[in-house]
Structures are given as structure tokens and as C-alpha cells.
């Protein structure tokens, strides 16, 4: 089976993860897909196939076909999709030979470069897999799953020498929990790659440092007709808090290495209110400056409205993997050469987000990120070129083959 057919199969399984659920995986559909993947791995001939009791992730091994001491390489992708858009009843279709114009996803929903979807200009003339305008597509990261699985099938049919290759299909990456229960020692790799990036050719080993913030507001409820000098409106104080934060440091006004403070959720009334944020920056000092801005805003309002009016809970969630990956430059150079071998120009870019690999790198498994080929993740305008699904398994194969003569990298991380 090729990667396209696999991808179209996998996206039919609803695997939206849920930040509100404490089970692992957070939703049953993820386990449904990892069980399907485990069956497929066994049918292909992978060994040591198992599903983690801890979080439902699926694992498999392609044994080395040589007695030479070669490094064990891992490839990872996550099965869950974002809560930002529905992943239920995904109905994909293929737009053949895209002409650069407007694509009608449905009778009322469309996208074109004129609407700001400039990624479409990169893929003129290609066949594109798109949504029907009601759900996300799921290329993040079922495209990565399909590409790794197809690479595994091709490798098992190959006679070229290679070391041990491990694959992992993780759960709950979209809610930041993918590595929480990941057993790096049992995975048994010297280094690995996540296949969870964007347009074909992208290679990433820098990501945001990340934090989350929950700001709680306590008010005093009084009948509005008798409220003077008595009422303390928590919802209004919450809006005042938001206005104290720098308006230019938001996702819609930043790019590249610029960080942001992103309001993701708000709720409340006169008596109590709550704001939730995510904070991101490639520079850890700048991230912590953002944290201080939020604490200072709370302190100001507590002085204005009284102690304990505003409570701030900040939590740092993951860090920039650059410092853990950069000492292993061969990972970057090997991936660049693999892209070139398939006629793809490699492009090293910073991730404006995070991956499982960011945290795994700090857990002792250096793990840069490779493209899947997808665009515009987490929404109804998501798409992926068919060519990317055809090319990425070959890129992954070339990485494996490159380490077929790489004794010098064996256990370098130990």
C-alpha cells in the first residue's frame, strides 16, 4: 500500500485529543488507530510490536540486516489531531493539477492565494488533497504516520544494509502530553526524527520555548442598582488585564523568531472569571520576560482592586531543542542530503510551535523534525500535495541508508 492510500485510510478514524480529559490517551479514537497500526506493522513483518499500556502509543522494530555495529534510528509521528477543528467524518478529495486559482471546498467555503493562503502558490500544477470545508484534514500528523509506515514497508523489502530502525506512533501530542509517559530506554534508539512538519523540504531543530498561563479573577456580586463602591466585576477586570498586555505580541502580528502571548480561552461573570493563555518564544529569557509581564499586570490590578483579586498560575511546558540537537549536526546534514537525493531543496526553519521531539531531546533522545508536506494545519483549510506523500517515504529511506555506513555515530548519545 502506498502512503496516499494509507493516509486516506487513517484520516477516517476520528482521533481528536482533548485537553480536558485526564485519561491517556485522552480519547478512545486514538487507541483505535494505534491498534490498527499495530496490526498493520505485524502484517508487514515488523518485530517487537506493542502498544504502551501507559498511553496507547504503538511501537515496532525493523531489525538490522547486517552484523555491523550501526546506530539504531527512530522515526515518530503522532496519531491525534487538534481540537481547533473537528476531526470527525473527514471527507477528503483530490484537486488535480491545481491551477493557482480559487478552490471551492464546499458551496460556501473556499480558499485562494488572494485570501492570504499563499502556500497555494508553492504547489501550482500539483494534485492536492483538501477538506470539504467542515473539518480539518489530519495531515498533522497522519501524513507523518502514513509516510513512516510506507518507509517501513519499503525498507523491509530492501537488501541494502541498515541498522535497527524503530518506529513510534504517539498519542496526545496536540495537548502537549505525547512524551509524558514515553519510555526512551525501551525505545532503544541512539537518535530519532519526528515526521511532523510542514511543506516538503522543511527541516527543523529549533522550536519555541513554551509556557501556559491561567489567570483567575475574583469579584464581588451586588445588585447593579446598589453597586456603587461595592461591586467588583471580575469579567470587567479580566478584560482590563488583557488590555494591559502588549498588543503587538500576539500570533497574528508575529512571525519567524518572534514570540507571542496568545489568549486562547475566556469565561466568567461578575463574581469570577478566567483567562487562559499560551506563551511562546525561541529565546528562553524573552519567554520569561513575557511571564513577568503577566505577573506584573496581575500585581497592578491587585493593588488597584485589592489583594487576591487576580491569581496567576504559570507553567513552563517545553523548551527549545536546539541546545540538545545542535551537538549532533550529523542529524541535520544527513536529512539535508536525503532531501537533495529526492530532488527536494531542504529548508531549515524554526518551528513556531513544538513537537514530541522537543521534549524527547531533553529526555536524552536527540530528535529534530522533518516535513510531512502539509499546509495550514489545525483548520478546515488544511491541505497536502500528493507528491509530498510520495516523496517523504523515500527521504526517510535515504536517511536510513545513510547511516548504513555510520559506525562512528553508534551510541554517541550514551
User: What is the set of active-site residues?
Assistant: 80, 173
Distance CA(383)–CA(375), nearest Å, equals 5
**Burial group, residue 363, by CB count within 10 angstroms (0-12, 13-18, 19+):** middle
Cβ 254 vs Cβ 281: under 8 Å: no
Helix (H, G, I), strand (E, B) or coil at 394: helix
Residue showing cell 518506529: 167
- For residue 236, what is the enclosing H or E element? helix 234-244
- DSSP code string of 265-320: EEEE-SSEEEEEEEEEESSHHHHHHHHHHHHHHHHHHHHHH-TTSEEEEEEEEE--
Distance CA(351)–CA(331), nearest Å, equals 17
The 3-state DSSP composition of the chain as helix, strand, coil percent (nearest 5) reads: 35, 25, 40
- For residue 322, what is the enclosing H or E element? helix 322-325
- DSSP code string of 78-139: E--B-TTS--SS---EEE-S--SS-EESSSS-EE-GGGT-GGGGGGTTS-EEE--SSS---H
Taking the CB of residue 409, how many other CB atoms lie within 10 A of it? 18
- For residue 388, what is the enclosing H or E element? helix 386-402
* CA separation, residue 98 to residues 17, 87, 94, 132, 378 (Å): 32, 25, 10, 16, 22
Number of alpha helices (DSSP H) and beta strands (DSSP E) in the chain: 10, 17
Cβ 79 vs Cβ 30: under 8 Å: yes
Per residue in 9-40, is it b (16+ CB within 10 Å) or e — as a string? ebbebbbbbbbeeeebbbbebbbbbbebbbeb
Amino acid at each position: 500500500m502506498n502512503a496516499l492510500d494509507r493516509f486516506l485510510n487513517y484520516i477516517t478514524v476520528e482521533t481528536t485529543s482533548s485537553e480536558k480529559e485526564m485519561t491517556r490517551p485522552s480519547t478512545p479514537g486514538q487507541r483505535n488507530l494505534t491498534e490498527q497500526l499495530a496490526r498493520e506493522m505485524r502484517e508487514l513483518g515488523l518485530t517487537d510490536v506493542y502498544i504502551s499500556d501507559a498511553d496507547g502509543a504503538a511501537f515496532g522494530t525493523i531489525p538490522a540486516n547486517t552484523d555491523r555495529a550501526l546506530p539504531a534510528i527512530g522515526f515518530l509521528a503522532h496519531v491525534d489531531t487538534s481540537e481547533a477543528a473537528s476531526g470527525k467524518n473527514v471527507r477528503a478529495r483530490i484537486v488535480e493539477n491545481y491551477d493557482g486559482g480559487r478552490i471551492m471546498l464546499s458551496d460556501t467555503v473556499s480558499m485562494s492565494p488572494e485570501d492570504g493562503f499563499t502556500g497555494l502558490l508553492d504547489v501550482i500544477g500539483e494534485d492536492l488533497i483538501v477538506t470539504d470545508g467542515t473539518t480539518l484534514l489530519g495531515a498533522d500528523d497522519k501524513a507523518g504516520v502514513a509516510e513512516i509506515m510506507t518507509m517501513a514497508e519499503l525498507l523491509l523489502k530492501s537488501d541494502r544494509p541498515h541498522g535497527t530502525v524503530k518506529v513510534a506512533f504517539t498519542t496526545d501530542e496536540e495537548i502537549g502530553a505525547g512524551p509524558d509517559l514515553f519510555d526512551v530506554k525501551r525505545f532503544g534508539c541512539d537518535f530519532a526524527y519526528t515526521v511532523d512538519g510542514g511543506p516538503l523540504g522543511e527541516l527543523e531543530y529549533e522550536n519555541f520555548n513554551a509556557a501556559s498561563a491561567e489567570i483567575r479573577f475574583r469579584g464581588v456580586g451586588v445588585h447593579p442598582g446598589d453597586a456603587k463602591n461595592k461591586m467588583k466585576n471580575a469579567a470587567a477586570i479580566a478584560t482590563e488585564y488583557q488590555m494591559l498586555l502588549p498588543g503587538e505580541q500576539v500570533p497574528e502580528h508575529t512571525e519567524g523568531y518572534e514570540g507571542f502571548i496568545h489568549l486562547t480561552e475566556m469565561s466568567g461573570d461578575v463574581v469570577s472569571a478566567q483567562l487562559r493563555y499560551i506563551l511562546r518564544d525561541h529565546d528562553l529569557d524573552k519567554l520569561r520576560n513575557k511571564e513577568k509581564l503577566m505577573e506584573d499586570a496581575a500585581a497592578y490590578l491587585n493593588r488597584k482592586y485589592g489583594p487576591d483579586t487576580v491569581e496567576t498560575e504559570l507553567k513552563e511546558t517545553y523548551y527549545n531543542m536546539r541546545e540538545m540537537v545542535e551537538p549532533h549536526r550529523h542529524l541535520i546534514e544527513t536529512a539535508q542530503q536525503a532531501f537533495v537525493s529526492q530532488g527536494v531543496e531542504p529548508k531549515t526553519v524554526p518551528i513556531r510551535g513544538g513537537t514530541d521531539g522537543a521534549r524527547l531531546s531533553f529526555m536524552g533522545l536527540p530528535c529534530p523534525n522533518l516535513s510531512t508536506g502539509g499546509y495550514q494545519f489545525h483548520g478546515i483549510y488544511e491541505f497536502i500535495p500528493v507528491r509530498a506523500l510520495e516523496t517523504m517515504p523515500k527521504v526517510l529511506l535515504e536517511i536510513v541508508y545513510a547511516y548504513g555506513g555510520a559506525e562512528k555515530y553508534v551510541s554517541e548519545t550514551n
